[in-house]
Amino acid sequence: GQQLNQSPQSMFIQEGEDVSMNCTSSSIFNTWLWYKQDPGEGPVLLIALYKAGELTSNGRLTAQFGITRKDSFLNISASIPSDVGIYFCAGRQTGANNLFFGTGTRLTVIP
Amino acid sequence: GAVVSQHPSWVICKSGTSVKIECRSLDFQATTMFWYRQFPKQSLMLMATSNEGSKATYEQGVEKDKFLINHASLTLSTLTVTSAHPEDSSFYICSASQNSYNEQFFGPGTRLTVL
């Protein structure tokens, strides 16, 4: 299947700091999604992006659909302890109904 | 809205037995349901896609005779792991969407441990 690479693999930050993570692929996707997964739980959708160049916010979260359609980034501003978890990007290609998930970024917020 | 449940949330079974996991969409009709497997510290890997009333489509490398999927109604899909072995121990997550191209809403997952 398609490989979506996320970086960084893990992050340790102080509460209140901003966070940036990205997701890249060698293939083009027409939809990019960002999910958060807490331990022992299923992923929860944070932001969905449908157009190249689109910039979308959800509270303290902002995500952008890369202009090349091969990448996306997620920013979290003013991090808080409950932001801890694993963040996954996921992409869907034109005409397909399945998602390809990224390798994940594990975020730890130090109070 | 868009709540998906899974049952059981965890299960421990002996090697050689079969285990059934249920995935239900509670407040919407799910034409399409997806089954994923996630090993510790790894990403979600799609196992199969099922459309209500049709046979499931399995991803390459997933044995359809071992992982039986039934999607008999618009709110229920089941995954049966037949003759489970320790290497089948994993976190199984389902997702559901109203149609093939709508957003997927994920269940809370089922942790399977095979002794």
b/e code A11-20 from CB counts within 10 Å (16+ = b): beeeeeeebe
Q: Which residue has the tokens 């929860």?
A: A44
Q: Left (φ > 0), alpha (ψ -120 to 50) or beta: where does A97 sit?
A: alpha
- pLDDT over 90 (residue B2): no
CB-based contact B17:B85 (threshold 8 Å): no
What CA–CA distance (Å, rounded) separates A5 from A75? Answer: 17
pLDDT in tens, B47-96: 999 988 888 999 999 999 999 999 989 999 999 999 999 999 999 999 99
Indicate yes or no: CB of B46 within 8 angstroms of CB of A99: yes
Q: Which residue of B has its CA nearest to A87?
A: B43
Residue B47 per-residue DSSP state:
E
pLDDT in tens, B13-33: 999 999 999 999 999 999 899
Is B99 a residue whose pLDDT tops 80?
A: no
Q: Which pLDDT band holds residue B1 (cuts at 50, 70, 90)? A: low
Q: Touching check for B59 and chain A: CB below 8 Å? A: yes
Q: Mean pLDDT across the stretch A75-97? A: 93
Closest Cβ–Cβ partner in B34, B43, B109 for A40: B109
- pLDDT of residue A98 exceeding 90, the answer is no
Identify which of A40, A45, A100 has the shortest CB distance to residue B103: A45
Beta strand pairing call for B67-73 and B57-58? unpaired
